[in-house]
Structure 1
Amino acid sequence: MLFFETDRLILRPFELKDAQAVENLAKDKELARTTMHIPHPFPEGLAELWIERYNEKINKGSSYCFAIILKGTMELVGCVMLYVALNHKRGELAYWIGKDYWDNGFATEASRKMMEFAFEKLQLNRVWAAVMKKNIPSIEVMKKLGLQQEGTFTEHVLKWGKYEDVVYYGILKAQYEKQVQLNRSIASE
């Protein structure tokens, strides 16, 4: 079973026992407002179906969806995902954090580990991510990760009856490796 650790987090595949915690986090309207795919209201029972579907995809190697767990309390605080197109050697990074856990750097910490997995283990050439233009905190996460803005699709998604602009970010393996080397140099000084 895939399992990752960071300083403060454990990333592991979701288990059916996580369904209630997922529903509790995902039912928050403010969280749903910031994502392209979380519905509001969040239907009861959807979390179980979602967990089963993504665990099948992990087994196929087409997507990796991990629960973000706080080490100290073992609380589920969110999700980090990597959708993989192996034939193109690229992956789409996505994440969400429950509102009560915002502004703690958990999305950045979990996503950094997923990028390491994508480039070092899966040997992908590119990681990209999409975000609604209004989601400034998520854009800041992408910038901290070293992803570069690549373009904006105007009125690309319809969210709650309103068209939203979507901004695309990306990073190539060579750029990621350069960034890792720079961070190692800074850490050794």
Structure 2
Amino acid sequence: MSAQFKLLTDRLILRPLTRTDVSSIQAAASVRQIADTMISIPHPYPDGESERYIARQTADFEAGHSVTFVIEQRFKNTFNGIIEVRDIEREHSQAELSFWLAVESWGQGYMSEALKPVLRFGFEQLELNRLYAYHMVRNPSSGQVLRKNGLVYEGMLRQRVRKWEMFEDVALWAILRNDWCVAVAQKPELAVG
């Protein structure tokens, strides 16, 4: 994959992950509320995990398997979270969306705003046909963000993951390129933040 570029919205900049993000990721991901609803974030967040995460994401990007964006406030350069297009499958032209926000950024509409240009990026730059996302059923806020951005609820995967020694039901959402094109034609604001 060639060099990653930045995506802009009115309030946010979505930029490539760099080694300078180590301390911001470590601090934000160490908050228990983040790990509570994220399938892949452990708690306590181990020392050095942010360095390992950045190294993995960089290698996956270089191999063409994922693209990770740091969500930052555009005029403050404040770390807000992460959004990924990951597990890119060229054969089936699909990928998974994964995202999280630092606790202090919750409830301000940042994730919905960030998702719009990422969907556009996935369909136009990566030329994917399908983007999908999972969230724990007990985290309905993620489902609301996905629905607001045109993803369709496809079903529930019963006891799909184990978190805090409890099996959790997981919701599956997806959007197809054709559905996104129709939605953007009807509501152009869906294509930009």
Superposed CA offset, 1:99-142 (max 9, x none): 01001111111111111001111111111101100001111001
Q: Helix, strand or coil: the match of 2:75?
A: coil
In the superposition, the TM-score normalised over structure 1's length comes to: 0.95
In the superposition, the TM-score normalised over structure 2's length comes to: 0.93
Mapped pair 1:113 → 2:113: no
Describe the shift of the 1:185–1:105 C-alpha distance in structure 2 as closer, same or farther (beyond 3 A): closer
Task: Provide structure 2 residue ranges, at least 5 long, that are not aligned to the other structure.
Answer: none
CA–CA separation in structure 2 for the residues paired with 1:86 and 1:185: 28
Q: Tell me what 1:44 maps to.
A: 47
CA–CA separation in structure 2 for the residues paired with 1:139 and 1:171: 13
1:182 is aligned, of 163, 186, 189, to: 186
Task: Provide structure 1 residue ranges, at least 5 long, that are not aligned to the other structure.
Answer: none
User: Larger RCO: Structure 1 or Structure 2 (Cα < 8 Å, ≥ 6 residues apart)?
Assistant: 2
Q: Tell me what 2:108 maps to.
A: 104
CA–CA separation in structure 2 for the residues paired with 1:13 and 1:49: 16
Q: Tell me what 2:173 maps to.
A: 169
CA–CA separation in structure 1 for the residues paired with 2:8 and 2:180: 20
Aligned pairs for 1:23-172 (under 5 A) are: 23-83=26-86, 84-172=88-176
Superposed CA offset, 1:116-169 (max 9, x none): 001111111111101100001111001111101101011110001111000100
Q: Is the 8 A contact 1:89 1:126 kept in 2?
A: yes
Q: Tell me what 2:18 maps to.
A: 15
1:25 deviation in Å? 0.4
CA–CA separation in structure 1 for the residues paired with 2:189 and 2:122: 22
Structural RMSD (CA): 1.3
After TM superposition, the structure 1 stretch with the greater mean CA deviation from structure 2, 127-136 or 177-186, is 177-186
CA–CA separation in structure 2 for the residues paired with 1:60 and 1:112: 25
1:185 deviation in Å? 9.2
Query: Partner amino acid for 2:184?
Result: V
Query: Partner amino acid for 1:27?
Result: S
Q: Is the 8 A contact 1:156 1:164 kept in 2?
A: yes
Q: Helix, strand or coil: the match of 1:88?
A: coil
The total of aligned residue pairs comes to 186
Superposed CA offset, 1:30-75 (max 9, x none): 1110110110000011101111110121122210011111112101
